[in-house]
Amino acid sequence: MLKKDKVKFIIKKLDEFYPEVNPPLDHKNNYTLLIAVLLSANSTDKSVNKVTPNLFKIANTPRKMLQIPYEELYQIIKPCGLGPAKASNILSLSKMLNENHNGKVPDNFEELEELPGVGHKTASVVMSQAFGLPAFAVDTHVHRCMYRWGLSSGKNVVQTEKDAKRLFPKERWSKLHLQIIFYGREYCPAKNFNPNDCPITTVVGRRSLFK
């Protein structure tokens, strides 16, 4: 099957499985979205969503966040893992937002990626979900599915993002990112994966997966 045919099939199936998708991380505004995505690194959305209601009740702006002592912040976000680094980054980026951006989350990759703890994937999610701008955030689920479907080499997430942007229509990037994440969790997991149980991989997947 040609890649263009794979892409058409994948979009069709994902629209069947997930016609409507909503961001999985609970948030109140652009700032809390940024914090939630930062917390989700090496964690699960479920763990983050358990922590953030209490956190955002106390602090839903950079100024309010800076009023929380480091140790208190660490204890709140500890269940998400990597607590010391995340607490430090949250306070540092909140200070930068206050001092350099009038307390607002910037709407461009360059300034977002200058913030402590904010990598390209986090910036992509914010650009897409906060500002509605075309972005294709590649997490482990997207990276894994793109490889198994024969759409990318699997070398690294940078290459996977390039391949995804080249193959999929730009106007679909933001929705597809979420659809693939949901699909990867439900049908194309990292562990105990059986390609015959994956409706998309069964049709377009790498033949080596079936050996």
For the chain, how many helices (H) and strands (E)?
Answer: 12, 0
* The one catalytic residue among 3, 50, 64, 121: 121
Nearest to 137 by CA among 191, 78, 179, 81: 179
Among this protein's residues, is 95 annotated catalytic?
A: no
Cα distance between residue 30 and residue 199, in whole Å: 35
Chain-centroid distance of CA 170 in Å reads 17
Quick count: other Cβ atoms within 10 Å of Cβ 84?
11
Quick count: other Cβ atoms within 10 Å of Cβ 147?
18
Q: Which two tokens stand for residue 60?
A: 């839903």
DSSP state of 52: H
Among this protein's residues, is 64 annotated catalytic?
A: no
- Are 174 and 135 in contact by the 8 Å Cβ rule? The answer is yes
* The one catalytic residue among 139, 175, 197, 211: 139
Catalytic positions are: 121, 139
